[in-house]
Amino acid sequence: MLEERKQLSKDFKVDAGRRFIKSHCQMCFNACGIIVEVNDGVAVKIMGDPDDPNTNGRLCGRGLSALTRLYDPYRVKAPLVRTNPKKGIGIDPKWKEVSWEEALNIVADKLKRIRKDNPNKLIYLAWPGEKYIQAQAWGHAFGTKNVGFFFSGASNKCANPNHMIGMLAHGALVEFPDLDYCNYLVLMGTEMGHGAHQSFVPLAKKIADARDRGMKLVVVDPRLSVAAAKADEWLPIRPGTDLALFLSMIYLLVHEYKLYDVDFLKKRTNAPYLLTPSGHYVRDPQTGKPMIWDVMDSTAKAFDDPSVKEAALEGDYVVGDVQCIPAFQFLKDQVKTYNPEWASKITTIPEDQICKVTRELAKNAQIGATVTIEGHEYPLRPVAIISYKGLQAHTNGGLAMMAQEIVLMLLGALDVPGGVISKSMDARRFGGQPQLLRADEDGLVRPHATGWEFFTPFKFPPDRLDLGEYCPLAFDLGHLVPLVTLNPTRYGFDYEPEALLIFHSNPLKNCGDLEVMTEALKKLDLVVDITIYLDETCDFADVILPESSFLERYNLINFTYDKVGLQVAQPVVSTLYNSMEGMDILTELAAKIGFLYEWNDRLNKTLALEPPFALELNRKYSWEEILDIQAKCHSGGKKNLDWYKTHGNDFRPMKAEEKYLIYRNARLPLYFSMIKEIGESLAENLEKYKIKERFGLDVRLEQYTALPYWEPIPCFGDDDYDLYLISYQSSLTTYADMATNPIIVEIAERDPYHLTVMVNEETAKKKNIKDGDEIWIESRITKVRAKAKLTKGIHPEVIAISGGFGRWLNHPIAKGKGVVYNELFPIDLRHSGMIGGSMESTVKVKVTKAE
């Protein structure tokens, strides 16, 4: 025992005593408050912080078991450089330990040259959880356009279309149901409050409370997810066909039931805006403002003309000599063939169920009802539809998301009590006060986008290796970067990328086609990985910069959707090993490369720091110092980092006026005119530079539409392959690095599904596959081996694999458990969605019994 103690004090710098330290969890990005018990310098236990008003002491299994990350013996313990020039999966890089100075100089020397030559030659993949916006600012300061989720893509695992369409529709980066009032919640391919999606712990209780007071839950999902198991109704749907379901909901609301919120549509959307036959606004010749038809005065007026008595939603009109119809009429005409019979054939959901859910949505919306909260009267529309990655990581995800927003607009259920409320992209995240959204010149809502540029102007030759300049409405198509890296000139680039800097991501495991990925990684001169352990991608890295664990670092953030204020994270033990705070690594590099000025300037803008509480541009700050300034700035000098270290957080609930109808007089786009216009301008540019002829690229201009239309996903109808493969996550397995957490893996091993592939019992019978059989899963790219778990809880055409497992890194807990499946997915433009930017995450496969 004494031996062990001695070893312990040798391994770790020990400070004595028993202490309880407030912090927040970073095992995912939801930042739940925690209290860490530290005994003689060793962190021994994590519990939820009862003073965090989001969780009140509750915490999920990931957070509870976070100490296994801190004390993971397989952490990288010092900076490493490769001595074996040969790169490949499983080939030992023969790491050599070096000093920080040496490691940083190797990186800085190369990046300095790149920055002088062409900063775009650096690809910067940054996904350090909750502080990704701050981290990505470093790439913008460096000057590369290849910054964000590049090389891996949020496109295949996040909900890019939600972010893009949510922003355009009502300034929502992410959408949440207003669970204090909601009576009817439809979850589309997401497990909000039951597993994945955001704010799991806060929402788990809120949804359970809402259900106890009578809220109905309908879950549309190919798999009997946890949410589906708890739901009042489970509608198993064929993957990638949610769009068809929404289109027929719109059809039913506007054609059959004629149930929609006329008042909301007329006053709060562009539904009455008059459109020419080509789908453009009819504009006032003098002011250029879009016009609407006043039924009472039988004349067209500017949309904001106070003399408008009653705006027309239907009919056709002539203004000047132009034939025109209101946008709502345009929508009606567009959806007239999308009846439930049609949708049923595509989705496999029976017609009567489509009708029932739509009717119940409309009925529960209580169109016309109002509620008074904190002295303000609001419409009460207690129905919500929420989707996330499951629905959206498809080529038609953007269109589906548009259709979802249109259904909600028809019901008047956006940003009102009981409906879908938004987490907007204002400075609230960094401690600022919530901001109202303003209207643009056409009267439509203009989203905030603090620290994030979501529209990419056309440019030739292009800069963005995710083809961003050809796909202007994709947040990122990061999964295309490896493909383009292999042959940039083929896509019109006039440069070759040379370096990749990864900050907390593992593209080799979380993207698609392995051959493309590995060849691209090999092609780059310098791959640098800021990481906590040696993951699969590290097999291809040249320099490893060991990051400290979140329990050794500071942070200050607000990741909630309904609170104002900040929450601290702080070291609970002295830094173990020779590791560093990732943000400090970035600052060291910025200083060595010579762009400290730009880095500080970017941070000032991103964190909304203003004098006297702003960073001096030429000074080198530690992350801790930056957070102290952030705390002071947003509290008007009243609070500093030390205050948060003691108190944990200063959250207050958002007021009704900060939460509901935050766009006041701006209108929402029932008719997404801006998407159509961006598409038209793109078409001109593509034509001008002959992009299609010269490079053979089809960037699918048809998706730039003001109204959604039915478009199947690429594998739809590929009858040679009879099953759809989907992946899923649970509350324990969000984020693939959970596969190195022994406590979670132990549970996964006991769980029937996590390390197997779910196959429908009847389907399996036809293929002579029994429970527990080894099977081959084969897509058009390759085949992988897996163990079958038969279940009744999955659509007969679908098999499902739990994401995050199937690791091959050198870690005894993770290695060889679960199914490696990412390589079954193709990476190309055809399998990418243009609106929002998504990678097709469903592929058709054949399944056979393995001998």
Partner 1 sequence: MRWVMVIDLDRCIGCRACEIACKLENRLPPHANLTKVFIREEGEFPYVTRTYLPVTCMHCTIPACVDVCPTGASFQRDDGIVLIDHDKCIGCKACLLACPYDARIINEAKFSYYDSPMPIERDKSESQRLKGTVEKCTFCSHRIDQGQDPACVAVCPTRARLFGDIDRPQGEIHEVLKQKHIFKLREEFGTQPNVFYVYSERSVVSIANVSQSKTMTK
Residues in 177-196 that interact with partner 1 by CB under 8 A: 194-195
Single residue of 21, 28, 36, 64 touching partner 1 by CB under 8 A: 64
Piece of the chain touching partner 1 by CB under 8 A; list 63-71, 604-612, 656-664, 776-784:
63-71
Residue 787 interacts with partner 1 (CB under 8 A)?
Answer: no
| In 336-396, alpha helices (H) | 340-347, 351-364, 389-392
Report the alpha-carbon distance of residue 47 to residue 43 in Å, rounded. 12
798 lines the binding site for partner 1 (CB under 8 A): no
- Strand partners for 123: 500
**Using the rule CB under 8 A, which residue among 102, 610, 616, 762 binds partner 1?**
762
**In the numeric block, which tokens belong to residue 807?**
């690791």
Give me 800's structure tokens.
């499902």
Span from 87-95, 106-114, 202-210, 579-587 in contact with partner 1 (CB under 8 A): 202-210
Among 19, 51, 53, 61, binds partner 1 (CB under 8 A): 61
Is 597 a binding residue for partner 1 by CB under 8 A? The answer is: no
**Of these, 201, 311, 471, 757, which contacts partner 1 (CB under 8 A)?**
201
Contact residue for partner 1 among 44, 89, 617, 683 (CB under 8 A): 44
Q: By the 8 A CB rule, do 752 and 802 touch?
A: no
Tell me the closest approach of the beta carbon of residue 48 to partner 1, in angstroms.
6
Q: Does 208 bind partner 1 (CB under 8 A)?
A: yes
Interface pick for partner 1 out of 72, 601, 677, 778 (rule CB under 8 A): 72
The smaller minimum CB distance to partner 1, of residues 208 and 614, is found at 208
Contact 456, 472 (CB under 8 A): yes
In whole angstroms, give the CA distance from residue 563 to residue 650: 9
Interaction of residue 75 with partner 1, rule CB under 8 A: no
Helix/strand number for the chain, H first, E second: 27, 37
Instruction: Decide: is 810 part of the binding site for partner 1 (CB under 8 A).
Output: no
The closest alpha carbon to 569, from 491, 636, 649, 513, belongs to 649
Candidate residues 232, 310, 440, 687; the one interacting with partner 1 per rule CB under 8 A: 232
- Nearest by Cα to 236 from 221, 248, 246, 217: 221
Nearer to partner 1, 204 or 291 (CB): 204
Beta bridge partners of 789: 758
Residue 320 touching partner 1 (CB under 8 A): no
Neighbours of 483 (CB within 10 A): 24
Number of residues that bind partner 1 (CB under 8 A): 65
Residues 419/182, Cβ–Cβ less than 8 Å? yes
Interaction of residue 315 with partner 1, rule CB under 8 A: no
228, 221 contact by CB (below 8 A): yes
The rounded distance, in Å, linking the Cα atoms of 317 and 326 is 9
- The Cα 81–Cα 628 span in angstroms is 34
Q: Whose Cβ is closer to partner 1: residue 398's or residue 546's? A: 546
CA distances from 670 to 56, 189, 270, 421, 706 (A): 39, 23, 6, 17, 9
Query: What is the distance between the alpha carbons of residues 211 and 360, in angstroms, rounded to a whole number?
Result: 16
Q: Does 793 bind partner 1 (CB under 8 A)?
A: yes
Q: Which of 315, 461, 637, 752 binds partner 1 (CB under 8 A)?
A: 752
Q: For residues 3 and 851, which CB has a smaller minimum distance to partner 1 in the complex?
A: 3
Name the nearest CA neighbour of 502 among 467, 523, 532, 463: 532
Examine residue 356 and tell whether it contacts partner 1 (CB under 8 A): no
* Contact of 393 with 408, CB cutoff 8 Å: no
| Closer Cβ to partner 1, 236 or 272, answer by number | 236
Pick the binder of partner 1 from 10, 85, 212, 375 (CB under 8 A): 212
Q: How far apart are CA 555 and CA 630, in angstroms?
A: 10
Restricted to residues 709-738, the positions that interact with partner 1 (CB under 8 A) are: 730-732
Position 53 contacts partner 1 (CB under 8 A): no
Task: Select from 280-288, 357-365, 515-523, 755-763 the region that touches partner 1 (CB under 8 A).
Answer: 755-763
**Complex with partner 1: residue 71 or 257, whichever CB lies closer:** 71
Cα–Cα distance measured from residue 556 to residue 570, given in angstroms and rounded to the nearest whole number: 9
Q: Is 746 in the site for partner 1 (CB under 8 A)?
A: yes
Does 126 participate in binding partner 1 (rule CB under 8 A)?
Answer: no
Q: Select the residue interacting with partner 1 from 21, 25, 43, 302 (CB under 8 A).
A: 43
Q: Which stretch binds partner 1 (CB under 8 A): 201-209, 627-635, 636-644, 697-705?
A: 201-209
Phi-psi region of 317 (alpha: psi -120 to 50; beta: other; left: phi over 0): beta
> Taking the complex as a whole, how short is the minimal distance between the CB of residue 755 and partner 1, in angstroms?
14
DSSP per position, 401-422 = HHHHHHHHHHTT-BSSTTSEEE
For partner 1, give the closer residue by CB, 47 or 319: 47
CB of 8 to partner 1, least distance (A): 6
- The Cα–Cα gap between 765 and 362 comes to 41
Does 842 sit near partner 1 (CB under 8 A)? no
Who contacts 638 (Cβ-Cβ below 8 Å, separation ≥6)?
A: none
Binding mask 139-178 for partner 1 (x = CB under 8 A): ----------------------------------------
3-state secondary structure 564-596: ECCEEECCCCCCCCCCECHHHHHHHHHHHHCCH
Q: Give the per-residue contact string, 3-42, with partner 1 (x = CB under 8 A; - = no).
A: -x---x--xx--------------------------x--x
**802 belongs to the binding site for partner 1 (CB under 8 A):** no
Q: Which is nearer to partner 1, 123 or 744 (CB)?
A: 744
Identity of the residue, 397 or 804, whose beta carbon is nearer to partner 1 in the bound complex:
804
Which residues have CB under 8 Å from 515's CB, separation 6+? 823
Could you say which of 103, 158, 226, 371 contacts partner 1 (CB under 8 A)? 226
Burial code (b: 16+ CB inside 10 Å, e: under 16) for 616-636 equals eeeeebebbebbbbbbbbbbe
Rounded to the nearest whole angstrom, what is the least distance from the CB of residue 128 to partner 1 in the complex?
23
> How would DSSP label each residue in 247-267?
HHHHHIIIIIS----HHHHHH
Q: Nearer to partner 1 by C-beta: 12 or 257?
A: 12
- Closer by beta carbon to partner 1, 313 or else 738: 738
Helix (H, G, I), strand (E, B) or coil at 359: helix
Q: Which stretch binds partner 1 (CB under 8 A): 53-61, 79-87, 330-338, 446-454?
A: 53-61
What is the nearest approach in angstroms of partner 1 to the Cβ of residue 815?
13
Q: Using the Cα atoms of residue 346, residue 351, residue 356 and residue 359 in order, give the sign of their dihedral.
A: positive
Which residue's CB is nearer to partner 1, number 4 or number 321? 4
**Does residue 333 touch partner 1 according to CB under 8 A?**
no
From the list 6, 45, 77, 258, which residue makes contact with partner 1 (rule: CB under 8 A)? 45
* Site for partner 1 contains 344 (CB under 8 A): no
Q: Alpha-carbon dihedral of residues 281, 286, 292, 295, nearest 10 degrees?
A: -150
Query: Look-up: residue for tokens 């293929």?
Result: 767
Nearest distance in Å: CB 16, partner 1 = 15
In the complex, minimum distance from the CB of residue 461 to partner 1, in angstroms, rounded to a whole number: 50
**Residue 568 and residue 515: Cα distance in Å, rounded?**
42
Binding site for partner 1 (CB under 8 A): 1, 4, 8, 11-12, 39, 42-48, 57-61, 64-65, 67-68, 71-73, 194-195, 200-201, 204-205, 207-208, 211-212, 224, 226, 229-230, 232, 234-236, 730-732, 742-744, 746-747, 750-752, 760-762, 791-796, 812-813
